[in-house]
A and B are shown apart, each in its own frame.
Chain A
Amino acid sequence: MTRRAALAALVVVAAIGLAAQTESAARVISLIPATTEMLFAMGAGDKLVAAGSYDHYPPEVERLPKVGALLDPNIERILMLKPDLVVVYGTQTELKNRLDRANIPYYMYVHKGLPDISETIRSLGARVGMAQQASSLASSIESRVNKVRAEVARLPRPKTLLVFGRERDSLRNIDASGGVGFLHDMLEAAGGTDVMSDVRRQSVMMTTEMILARAPEVILELRYGPPEAGDAEDLRQWNTLAAVPAVKSKRIYQLRGQEYVVPGPRVAPAVEQMARTLHPEAFR
């Protein structure tokens, strides 16, 4: 009798566990701009109850309460909102521990390559019960990027330096994309050859010597904020490196917008814009 009761209890527990696992999240908190954009783009924006303090896209995100970000998640506010799924970054160990203790499920996300963006969209979609919509979003991004790949396939691939940070009005503290990560993948998809592809890191601190030695034919500089006065003057700093082919042929371009640094659904238009910049003749 006791054995039968124990078995029944076990079945009930297992069933509840299974139900909890398959039940899709309805109160979601996303602390990362990329995943917040993904959730909105797949149509799960109404499931979000809070977002990260750096999340500014799409505009609807601004009406959500902001509960901190990578370094300063506000755990108290997160718990108060009673989420049933929190999207956290892989390095937020302390936050994960606390969510574990509070029995709140989380989805762990890390920035990786371009293919990982659609991968993340699909698995995140499954967690919030929008697998179908997520899958079609992911597919549309993949097909837009693949279309660009096909268009540039036969074109010469300029050796490109992809810069995503530099001290203003100088050639100091230059950060460039290395040979892995979504920036590198975007550049390769857009028909450029990354001059730093042999350095297997997402970012490389560049020096003037490295730039002279690598001799890029194009320099793409990513900027996130709105245009600023003095941008043209700032761009002229590159002229110091007169022997660099990109300087000689004046192929130094600024690309502006959050979409270049947020590996979310907007990578497709970002790759298209990059391709237009690298191959203006092919996209007239």
Chain B
Amino acid sequence: MRGRTDVRRRLLVTIGAFGALTLVCCLVAPIVGSTSISLARVFSRTIPYADNVDAQVFFIARLPRVIAAVVVGSGLALSGVVFQALLRNPLASSDTLGVAAGATLGATIAITVHADFNLFGVSVVPVASFAGSIGALVIVYLLSLARRRGTSSTVLLLAGIAISALLSAVGRFVQYLAEFTDTARTMQWIMGSLDVGNYAPIVAALVPLTLAVAGFATLPRVLDLISMGTESAEARGVDVVRAERIALFSASMSTGAAVSLGGPVLFVGIIVPHIVRLLVGADHRLVLPASALFGASFLVVCDLIARTILAPVELPVGIITAVLGGPFFLWLLFRRVQ
């Protein structure tokens, strides 16, 4: 009984601390940028919106970016936690299971064939990349099922790597056939960008992300047990097959949502869960919410840097995530080893 209140207290402290960090990032980020805006003008009721440049910079250029960074950062971090626990492999992430390759293939095809439709105001490229990421994971999952009832982490991992290589090869083939300008477009998409321009793609990404969070909510205890090994988890009465299905489904939904919105932003899915584990320990009841919040703050800050450091031009956010995240992660790692 004492243990439970202890966990509840730690959960409150963790969510409080990480939540406060996220809140501060989200409040500061839309105010800072390459152009200076006045908050008084942004919220002024006397200037009509159509003429209010400050308000449009705030509501069209910056706020959607910050929200997109929250969605993408938390989505990638959450799926990273789940993939790492499920596969019992510290390097596992959505990239390992072919999700990024699938999303990239989807986007590449949509860009190359100049597909033209939009779904509830979302353009074809995000839709295609979402379909690609889910498609890749479905293939990997079916392959691992074919081996035995339930999934084995090794089979899943190897199937993921094989499918990833295969889909990348198909993607490169499509790029090879593509017009030059389309290849350049595809490269831009791969580098990732959070300048989504309006709220429709964010709302669309929130649908799969909400489904994913609902799935993740059932998982913390199960993931703790599975990360010790599936046999011992089964011995303790966990329905491993069912848990793995929920985990894979939720993780693919959150990755798909994130990648379709921001492109395959590098590194967030791998390093955020590790940094969080170094800070709060291995208990998934803490790791999952903390990763979601830390992933969100991390990407908001990275995007802020990406759009201001070389102003007026800006850098792809994936470069910042890797450049900042890599050394910070190494520092935490070595500090802990000492």
Interface residues of A (CB under 8 A from B): 54, 69-70, 72, 165, 167-173, 175, 198-199, 201, 204-205, 207-210, 212-213, 215, 224-225, 228-230, 234, 237, 240-243, 248, 261
CB pair B123–A199 under 8 Å, yes or no, is: no
- Bound complex: CA of A169 vs CA of B204, how far in Å? 15
A243 touches B52 (CB 8 A): yes
Q: Cβ of B125 < 8 Å from any Cβ of A?
A: yes
Question: CA–CA, A11 to B119, complex, Å?
Answer: 76
From B19-27, B53-61, B85-93, B277-285, the one touching the partner chain is B53-61
Report yes or no: B307 in contact with A248, Cβ–Cβ below 8 A. no
Please list the residues of chain B having a beta carbon within 8 angstroms of any beta carbon in chain A.
Answer: 33-35, 49-53, 55-57, 60-62, 111, 114, 116, 118, 123-125, 176, 179-181, 184-185, 188-189, 193, 195-198, 201, 307, 312-314
Q: Could you tell me the dominant secondary structure of chain B's interface residues? A: helix
Q: Which residue of B lies closest to A211 (CB)?
A: B61
Check A215 against B53 for contact (C-beta < 8 Å).
yes
Contacting A243 at CB < 8 Å: which of B33, B51, B62, B176?
A: B51
Bound CA span A183–B89, Å:
50
A245 → B minimal CB distance (Å)? 10
Q: Which listed residue (B56, B196, B197) contacts A242, Cβ 8 A?
A: B56
Whether the Cβ atoms of B180 and A54 lie closer than 8 Å is: yes
Which chain A residue shows the least CB distance to B47? A243
Question: Is B118 a contact partner of A169 (Cβ separation < 8 A)?
Answer: yes
Shortest distance from the beta carbon of B53 to any chain A beta carbon, whole Å: 5
- In the assembled complex, the Cα of A243 lies from the Cα of B197 at a distance in Å of 14
Indicate if the CB atoms of B49 and A242 lie closer than 8 Å: yes
Q: A205-B314, A209-B62, A242-B49 are in contact. Are A165 and B116 (CB under 8 A)?
A: no
Whether B123 contacts A212 by the Cβ 8 Å rule is: no
Residue A209 contacts which of B34, B179, B180, B193 (CB distance < 8 angstroms)? B34
B197 and A199 contact, CB distance less than 8 A: no
Which single residue of chain A is at the shortest CB-CB distance from B36? A213
Nearest Cβ in chain A — how far from B288, in angstroms? 30
The 8 A-B residue pairs whose C-beta atoms are closest, nearest first, are A209-B61, A171-B197, A169-B123, A213-B35, A208-B61, A242-B50, A170-B123, A243-B56
B195–A241 CB distance below 8 A: no
Q: How far is the CA of A208 from the CA of B124 in the complex (A)?
A: 20
A204 vs B313: C-alpha distance when bound (angstroms): 7
Q: What residues on A are CB-neighbors of B35 within 8 Å?
A: 209, 212-213
User: Quick one: closest B residue to A70, CB to CB?
Assistant: B180
Contact A209 B123 (CB under 8 A): no
Whether the pair B61, A207 counts as a contact (CB closer than 8 A) is yes
Task: Judge whether B123 and A243 touch: CB under 8 Å.
Answer: no
In the complex formed, the residue of A with least CB distance to B110 is A168
Could you jot down 12 A-B contacts, CB within 8 Å? A72-B176, A168-B123, A169-B118, A173-B193, A199-B312, A209-B35, A212-B57, A213-B312, A224-B179, A225-B114, A242-B50, A243-B53
Residue B57 contacts which of A70, A213, A230, A261 (CB distance < 8 angstroms)?
A: A213
User: Which chain A positions have C-beta within 8 A of B179?
Assistant: 54, 224
Task: State the CA gap A225–B181 with chains docked (Å).
Answer: 11
Does A167 contact B185, Cβ atoms closer than 8 Å? yes
Asked if A205 and B313 make an inter-chain contact with CB atoms under 8 angstroms apart, the answer reads yes
A228-B184 CB under 8 A given contacts A169-B123, A171-B198, A212-B56: no
- Complex CA–CA separation, A219 to B53 (angstroms): 17
Which residue of chain A has its CB nearest to the CB of B115? A168
- Could you say which residues of chain A place their CB within 8 Å of the CB of B60? 208, 212, 240-241
Are the CB atoms of A208 and B313 closer together than 8 Å?
Answer: no
**Chain A, Cβ-Cβ closest to B180:** A54
Inter-chain CA distance A242–B49, complex, in Å, is: 8
Contact call A168/B195, Cβ cutoff below 8 A: no
Nearest CB on B from A257, distance (A): 14
CB nearest to B175 among chain A residues: A71
Q: Can you name the residue of chain A whose Cβ is closest to the Cβ of B316?
A: A205
Closest to A209 in B: B61
Contact A173 B181 (CB under 8 A): no
Q: Bound state CA distance, A275 and B113, in angstroms?
A: 32
Check if B124 sits within 8 Å of A207, measured CB to CB: no
Contact of A168 (CB < 8 Å), options: B33, B114, B197: B114
Q: Which residues of B contact A54 (CB under 8 A)?
A: 179-180
Q: How far is the CB of A132 from chain B (nearest CB, A)?
A: 34
Q: Is the CB of A207 within 8 A of B195?
A: yes
Q: Report B-chain residues with C-beta under 8 Å of the C-beta of A237.
A: 197
